[in-house]
Amino acid sequence: MLDFLNYTFIVRSLLVGSLFSVFAAFLGNFLVAGKRANMSDMLSHFSLAGVGLGIFLGGGVGFLPIGFSLLAGFSLYFLSNKSNLNKEAFNVLILSLGLALAIFFVNMSPSSNVSLETYLFGSILTISKSEVWMISSFILIAFGILLFNYQKLVGLVFDPDFLKSQFKKVKKYELILMAVTSIFVAISLKIVGGLLVSAFLIISVLSAQQISSSFKHSILLSIGFNLLSTISGIILSFYYNIPTSSAIIFVLSGIFILTLIYKRYVQN
């Protein structure tokens, strides 16, 4: 029954996937509450340009996706705060530009052992030991930063005007949230892929909001939903030979439908 635990790559994917899913749910609640959900799509697609550049240069992907994601995130922050720029329109621009650059670099590159498809759809089962350490270290550090600034970040997403009246350095908290989100999205490419990372951040939160009674309750429920979906998705992909990221999103979508039904026919 638990024979999949005999495989090191499965245990490794369960470990990093569980840690990843907990943090994704935690961060996703702040993005949804602050109406920043679309931002993750923009960051993930522009991160793919870093993957494409790495393939073009032939030296491996490395930290290029993180650099591109941070560039997109801070560009959005500074341009939207210093002009009347429409954030949604800018998101579409950066999203399209990132994907165009990724395709351009890949098509212009010589043969490479790195596949763009891996970063488009994710490949959690191929996570290496060094990648586990890198991803886990970032998540633990980022978790500590967000928890330390929890009350300020809650104020930022729910009542930014009140926060500005109480604290002078509100921009610091906006930059913290932007930086953490940018880096997290970039390192998520190898796990769930650039095309699915937004769903992973958002669907569990939307599900939790259907039946939660508070922000903290929503965080706890969405963490549970993400964990259940990740573990179930990995096990399903092992036994039925289906793409892991797809299996995870299928389970998440099923949970969302169930919460809608529960809210309409049971809770009400």
- Each domain of the chain, given as residue ranges in start order, spans 3-262
- State the sign of the Cα–Cα–Cα–Cα dihedral 257, 229, 249, 217: positive
Q: Which residues of 208-233 are buried (b: 16+ CB within 10 A; e: fewer)?
A: bbbbbeeeeebbebbbbbbbbbbbbb
Q: Amino acid letter at 192?
A: V
pTM: 0.91
Q: What's the Cα-to-Cα distance from 266 to each of 203, 208, 211, 255, 262, rounded to whole Å?
A: 21, 15, 10, 15, 5
CA distance 33 to 13: 29
Burial of 93 (0-12, 13-18, 19+ CB in 10 A): middle
pLDDT in tens, the chain (268 residues): 567 677 788 888 889 999 999 999 999 999 999 888 888 888 999 999 999 898 888 767 888 999 999 999 988 888 877 667 777 788 888 889 998 999 899 888 876 666 777 888 888 888 888 888 888 999 999 999 999 999 999 988 888 777 777 777 778 888 999 999 999 999 998 888 887 888 889 999 999 999 998 999 999 999 999 999 999 999 888 888 888 888 999 999 999 999 999 888 776 6
3-262 is a CATH 1.10.3470.10 domain: yes
The encoded tokens of residue 142 equal 């980022």
